[in-house]
Amino acid sequence: MKTCEIERFDDLLSDLERRNEEEQKQIIEEMNKQIYAVILKNIYFPFTKEWFDKMDKMIEEKKLSMENAIEFLKFLGYGKELKCLTCCSFDESLLGKRMKEMMIDENERNKEEKLLTDLCECYISLGHDKPPDLLSIYVPCLLKAASKKEENEKAQKDVEISLLALSNLENYEMPKELYLNEIKEIIKYHQEHRNLTHLAYQTSWRLLVNRLWVDNYLEEVIVNELHFVREAAGEIEDLSKCVDWKKTPKEMSREEMKGMLIIGRWFNDIDSFFSSCNLWNEELTGLNRGLVQLSRASRDNHKDICNRCLYSFGEAGKKRNVKNNDLLKSGAIDAVLEELQQLTLNHDLVLDWLYFFLNISRRAKEEEEDEKDEAKRKATKRKIFEKMEEEGCEDIITSFYGNIIFFLFHYECGLSLNISDYFVNV
């Protein structure tokens, strides 16, 4: 069944057939304005294979110029990537196959750089499958486009689109010679000159951070050379200031909604970083402190954002090289204890919080075996103990005993049946 959105775009697409090229540009501008509303509203990508096939037929019959088609498809891919939606319909469509062939042909002819860039952006942003054998086309082309340093609005938008397309290649094996120096230069230049938009800068990190699980050599680059943790904290703080967290989602402006989407994209990178990186520095406390502030600001009207903050604390708590004092100083333990008061037995995050306290308790026991800084360690344990006691943490976790049994029976989750293992004792 067709959605209202598709019916609206069907009408606009049919209208293109009756217009000359200049009039088509105006209609496409109108279609682009509506993309935001469609993308922000849906949790799925609404454009179908049939819709793309119809556009391909119009191109074949010269009822739609390739230039105008590309202009719309670039914006469509931009919206899809902004919301992190999945799309398989473009790959299967005649239009997707046409653009792939054009991209290969244009690369072989080496005739027009802008057209090749446009084709790569459309194909990578809208497609689900990217043939690895074409990485030597995609990556250099998109990196070159993303490296432009002009700061006018159009140039910044072009760089955004190129970086969004490039981030689609995060899970593909590629030699570091193909991308590393260029993406580092893009990030370092922005850190000095602030030439990228918030979205472009977040996206420039995605290719690096999401490759940590296969490229361990990136740890030193990401943590100590490019300072991911510090930069993520600063960006989330800046974006949070642009959002009125007292508003409900329906009350928010389009720019506020976009800011929230970019914050959500940072969370994806932060979680990938926590799960894949074993190298840490003191900047972690600053990031967690910022997430604590955000969790409290978003708690009432944006529970999904609040929960993402708290989930990140849980991911940090799993790391052996994150000290309990780091979580204490940042306020992360306080934030989780506050949220624990709101939980019900069926709450989706119960498992995460059980892990969080289990890891804190285990880490405290491990720290006892280390004789260095004994006074500081005892002070930290005393503070955590007092906080947990004040919030009635033992009674709450005890009430989750049935959940623990359920999790252990249905999943290999590593929880303990011993309730005392979830508390820090002095």
Q: Pick the most confident of 197-201, 281-285, 401-405.
A: 197-201
Provide the residue count of the chain: 426
**pLDDT tens-place string over residues 66-89:** 998 998 898 888 888 888 888 888
Tokens 């994209």 label which residue? 265
CA angle, 286 then 290 then 295, to 5°: 145
Which pLDDT value is given to residue 294?
96
Q: Assess whether pLDDT exceeds 60 at residue 12.
A: yes
**Exposed e or buried b per residue across 115-147, where buried means at least 16 C-beta atoms within 10 angstroms of its C-beta:** bbbbbbbbbbbbbeebeeebbebbbebbbebbe
**pLDDT tens-place string over residues 225-270:** 999 999 999 999 999 999 999 999 889 998 898 899 999 999 999 9
Q: Which residues contact 416 (CB under 8 A, 6 or more apart)?
A: 358, 404, 422
Which pLDDT value is given to residue 238?
96
CA–CA distance, 65 with 131 (Å, rounded to integer)? 27
Which pLDDT value is given to residue 352?
84
Q: Assess whether pLDDT exceeds 70 at residue 317.
A: yes
**pLDDT tens-place string over residues 155-165:** 898 999 999 99
**pLDDT tens-place string over residues 349-361:** 788 888 899 999 9
Average pLDDT over residues 171-195: 92
Cα→Cα distances 249→257, 361, 365, Å: 8, 38, 43
Q: Which residues contact 325 (CB under 8 A, 6 or more apart)?
A: 376, 380
Percent of the chain whose pLDDT exceeds 90: 42
Q: Assess whether pLDDT exceeds 70 at residue 3.
A: no
CA–CA distance, 152 with 24 (Å, rounded to integer)? 26
Which pLDDT value is given to residue 1?
36
Average pLDDT taken over every residue of the chain:
87
Percent of the chain whose pLDDT exceeds 70: 94
Which pLDDT value is given to residue 100?
92
Which pLDDT value is given to residue 6?
65
Q: Assess whether pLDDT exceeds 70 at residue 204.
A: yes
14 vs 125: which has the higher pLDDT: 125
Tokens of 411: 């999943």
Cα→Cα distances 104→55, 138, 150, 371, Å: 21, 10, 28, 63
Q: Which of 185, 157, 190 is CA-nearest to residue 78?
A: 157
Which pLDDT value is given to residue 333?
92
Amino acid letter, residue 88: C
**pLDDT tens-place string over residues 93-139:** 999 999 999 999 988 887 678 999 999 999 999 988 888 888 999 99
Tokens of 207: 């290719």
Write the secondary structure of 256-300 as one string of H (helix), E (strand) and C (coil): HHHHHHHHHHHHHHHHHHHHHCCCCCCHHHHHHHHHHHHHHHHCC
**3-state SS class at 220:** helix
Q: Assess whether pLDDT exceeds 70 at residue 215.
A: yes
Q: Assess whether pLDDT exceeds 90 at residue 370.
A: no
| CA 289 to chain CA centroid, nearest Å | 20
DSSP notation for 113-172: HHHHHHHHHHHHHH-S---GGGHHHHHHHHHHHHT----SHHHHHHHHHHHHHHGGGTTS
Which pLDDT value is given to residue 96?
93
Of 68-72, 187-191, 198-202, the range with the lowest mean pLDDT is 68-72
Q: Which residues contact 342 (CB under 8 A, 6 or more apart)?
A: none
Average pLDDT over residues 2-26: 74
